[in-house]
Amino acid sequence: MKKTALNAYRLLGCRDYARVDMRLKDDAPYVVEVNANPDISLDAGFARSLKVAGIRYERFIGEIISYAVQRSPLC
């Protein structure tokens, strides 16, 4: 499933973060939707996923800011 999610993420040109919704059918993963801009508020599903993955919310937000700064033409 991880490989399928990463392939969908890359194929659609996502960057920094996204949510890939999948379903299993006959033990095969199918991508239902790729949301390139999911809700990242503290009470949203993405934040709960971070917690399950062992990623602190503050670290995630810091990394998103860092990625944006690195792409900035001002840096």
Q: Are residues 74 and 55 in the same domain?
A: yes
Tens digits of residue pLDDT in 15-61: 999 999 999 999 999 999 999 999 999 999 999 999 999 999 999 99
User: How many folded domains does the chain comprise?
Assistant: 2
Q: Are residues 8 and 24 in the same domain?
A: yes
Q: Are residues 2 and 25 in the same domain?
A: yes
Q: What's the rounded Cα separation, in Å, for the pair 34 and 50?
A: 17
Q: Are residues 33 and 56 in the same domain?
A: no
The DSSP H or E segment spanning 51 is helix 45-52
Q: Are residues 46 and 31 in the same domain?
A: no
Q: Are residues 22 and 54 in the same domain?
A: no
The answer to whether the pTM exceeds 0.85 is no
Give the range of the structural domain holding residue 15, as residue numbers without chain letter: 1-38
Q: What's the rounded Cα separation, in Å, for the pair 69 and 35?
A: 22
Q: Are residues 2 and 19 in the same domain?
A: yes
